[in-house]
Chains A and B, each alone.
Chain A
Amino acid sequence: MLDHQPRPDRNADLAPGRHVPDLRLPDHVGNERNLSELAGGDPVLLHFYRGWWCPKEQAYFRKLVHLQDEAEVAYTRFISVSVDSVEEAAAYRAGLGARWTFLSDHERRWVHELGLLETTDTTHDPYAPTVLVLTPDLRIHAAFNGYWFWGRPTNEELRQAFRTITRSIRPDWEVPAG
Chain B
Amino acid sequence: MSPCWLAVCATRPPDALAAADFGVEARDGGVLAAWSADDEPVPGAVKIDPRCIDPEGEGAWVSLVLAPRGTWLLFDDIAVSHAIRSALAAPPVDVVSTLVTGDDRFVGALTAVHGDDRTRLRHDPFGALFPPRLLRISAGLLGRTPTPVGPMTQRYGAANPWPWDRFPEPAP
Residues of chain A touching chain B, judged by Cβ–Cβ distance below 8 Å, are 27-29, 31, 33, 37-38, 40-42, 68-69, 71-73, 75-79, 94, 97-101, 171
B151 at the interface (CB under 8 A from A): yes
What chain B residues lie within 8 Å of A99 (beta carbons)? 85, 88-89, 150-151
Q: Is B151 within 8 A of A33, CB to CB?
A: no
Q: Is B147 within 8 A of A31, CB to CB?
A: yes
Q: Is A97 within 8 A of B167, CB to CB?
A: no
Q: Is A100 within 8 A of B151, CB to CB?
A: yes
What chain B residues lie within 8 Å of A79 (beta carbons)? 149
Query: How would residues 147 to 161 of chain B score, 1 for a CB under 8 Å from any chain A CB and 0 otherwise?
Result: 101111110100000
The 3 closest A-B pairs by CB, nearest first: A99-B88, A100-B150, A68-B151
B149's partner among A40, A69, A73 (CB-CB below 8 A) is A40
What chain B residues lie within 8 Å of A94 (beta carbons)? 89
Q: Is B149 within 8 A of A72, CB to CB?
A: no
Query: How would residues 132 to 172 of chain B score, 1 for a CB under 8 Å from any chain A CB and 0 otherwise?
Result: 00000000000000110111111010000000011100100
Per the bound structure, the CA–CA distance linking A28 and B167 in Å amounts to 25
B92 at the interface (CB under 8 A from A): yes
Q: Is B151 within 8 A of A72, CB to CB?
A: yes
Given the contacts A72-B85, A94-B89, A97-B89, A37 and B146 also touching, CB distance less than 8 Å = yes
What chain B residues lie within 8 Å of A97 (beta carbons)? 89
DSSP majority for the B interface? loop
Q: A100 — nearest CB in chain B belongs to which residue? A: B150
A-B pairs with beta carbons under 8 A, tally? 59
Q: Is A29 within 8 A of B147, CB to CB?
A: yes
DSSP majority for the A interface? loop
Q: Is B153 within 8 A of A73, CB to CB?
A: yes
Per the bound structure, the CA–CA distance linking A40 and B153 in Å amounts to 15
What chain B residues lie within 8 Å of A38 (beta carbons)? 149
Per the bound structure, the CA–CA distance linking A27 and B150 in Å amounts to 12
How far is the CB of B159 from the nearest CB of chain A, in Å?
A: 16
A101's partner among B147, B153, B156 (CB-CB below 8 A) is B147
How far is the CB of B146 from the nearest CB of chain A, in Å?
A: 7
Per the bound structure, the CA–CA distance linking A41 and B85 in Å amounts to 21
Given the contacts A41-B166, A99-B89, A75 and B152 also touching, CB distance less than 8 Å = yes
The contact sample of 23 A-B pairs, CB cut-off 8 A, is A28-B147, A29-B147, A31-B146, A37-B146, A38-B149, A40-B149, A40-B166, A41-B166, A41-B167, A42-B166, A72-B85, A72-B150, A72-B152, A72-B153, A73-B152, A73-B153, A73-B154, A77-B149, A98-B89, A99-B89, A99-B151, A100-B150, A101-B147
Interface residues in B11-40 by Cβ distance below 8 A to A read none
What chain A residues lie within 8 Å of B166 (beta carbons)? 40-42
Q: Is B147 within 8 A of A40, CB to CB?
A: no
Given the contacts A40-B166, A41-B167, A99-B88, A76 and B146 also touching, CB distance less than 8 Å = no
Given the contacts A40-B166, A72-B85, A94-B89, A101 and B150 also touching, CB distance less than 8 Å = yes
